[in-house]
Amino acid sequence: MSNTEKKTGGWRTNKWIRAAIPALLLHCSIGTVYCWSIFSQEIADHIGFSKGATEWAFSFAIFFLGMSAAFLGNVVEKDIHKSSLIATICFAAGMAGTGFFIWFGGNNPGNVLALIGIYVSYGLIMGIGLGTGYLSPVKTLMLWFQDRKGLATGLAVAGFGAAKAIASPIMQWMLDGLGEGGIYKMFYILAAVYFVMMFVGHLLLKKPEGWHEPQKKEKGQGIFSVIKTRPITNYIGIWVMFYINITCGLALISQEKMIVKCIGLAGIVGIISTVSAVFNAAGRLGLSAWADKMKDRNTMYKIIFIASIALTAVVILTKGITNGASSIVLMILVLALIMVVNAGYGGGFSNVPTLLSDQYGMGSISALHGITLSAWAFAGLTGNQLANWIVNKFGEFIDMDKWVNEGVKVVVDPANLAAGQTAINPTGYQTVLYVTIALYIVALLMSFFFVRKPFKEEKTEA
């Protein structure tokens, strides 16, 4: 860094331009993967397959996000420009490919090649873009904002969480305004827009000058050698509690809209979904920034798990989901649980890279963070499916209008409902909470007994 640049604070050495803005450009683009529910039914109808068949595209996207992060973490470690370019190309190509196979499926309804093409495009190719794009700016942010690492990573990860809230109304507007074939045209347009956004982020992203020099020796270590610098149970504890937090979050969030309908708030379900998305993004930014002030970032996970356990227990004991429509207090408790779980779900993501850096150092953080994101891959395949299995296995589906408006329990078969009718299973959603509270307790025990204090603190005490 030249003296002139130091004095002028030129854009080449500005941490906001070289780290924060490119991180937001990358994460606000790839975070739109969570907009899947906006157009999944339209895709299914257009290509002639069931919604359940097309849903696997989203599950594959999250799975390959985690697995590509795990296997390409070393690429990110060595060259963030290569990794961010890979992310840009794969994400845009996957989105354009999805549009092509939707078009193909529309011309050939029921053709399995269209479904497989969407799996490959939205799941595999976009998934690789998601994993590398998610990792690429994180270490760079922590290097530029070493005094506020949590705030910096929280800012980027909040962009990932907020992307759905920002893009959803735009996508809905496009679907309504593009006319016949709007669903595949939308994907072509978005592929171009997100390519430009991510490519600009790729060009701007840069590590601070001179950082790599003192880190050459540490970066030479293999990732498992880094993990073994501490007891292996320490890393196992971090991985498992990260996995559980995502699994429980997905289990509840995937049923969120139906739970809201159960407690008599069907008319404002869209508003509540937006509010919960705000809590998700606020948790990503606020909880990681708060953790900057803690001696041990693991304390934040203890707070997340204790709050989730406490509110889940209250809703279980009061049968808040099944009785919520008849009591404002229970209604508030259920909403509080939804908001706390959303905030904790987001906070778990933003705190994991800084927790890992405190535990294992910065030298191999991208590779280590990537390996840890494999927990996201497996949670993406288990969280939603676990909740769906419980809801289908326990309780009965009943006519929502009769239940909410008249208090009458009329058992129905969801498959035989007319268009516009909704079936809910309050007992099933309530049962999901028994599983999530047990998992949260396991995660809390991991946080207390497996995850050790930061290395520097242990050295001081020794």
pTM summary value: 0.85
CA atoms within 13 A on the CB side of 417: 17
Q: What residue ranges define each of the domains in the chain, with the CATH number in brackets?
A: 17-204 (1.20.1250.20), 225-462 (1.20.1250.20)
Per-residue pLDDT at 169: 87
Q: Which of the 8 DSSP states describes residue 16?
A: I
Cβ atoms of 85 and 198 within 8 Å: the answer is no
Instruction: Dig out the tokens for 347 from the structure.
Output: 């906070």
Per-residue pLDDT at 220: 47
Q: Residue 195 and residue 97: Cα distance in Å, rounded?
A: 13
Question: Helical H runs in 254-327?
Answer: 256-262, 269-282, 288-291, 298-318, 320-323
Instruction: Dig out the tokens for 9 from the structure.
Output: 């604070």
Cβ atoms of 159 and 27 within 8 Å: the answer is yes
What lies within 8 Å, CB to CB, of 320 at 6+ separation is 263, 314, 330, 331, 333, 334, 337, 430
Burial of 7 (0-12, 13-18, 19+ CB in 10 A): exposed
Instruction: Dig out the tokens for 312 from the structure.
Output: 């889940």
Local mean pLDDT, 10-residue blocks, the chain (462 residues):
45 84 95 88 92 89 93 88 96 98 96 97 97 92 89 87 86 89 94 97 89 47 84 96 96 91 87 88 94 95 98 97 90 97 95 94 89 93 89 89 74 71 88 97 97 66 37
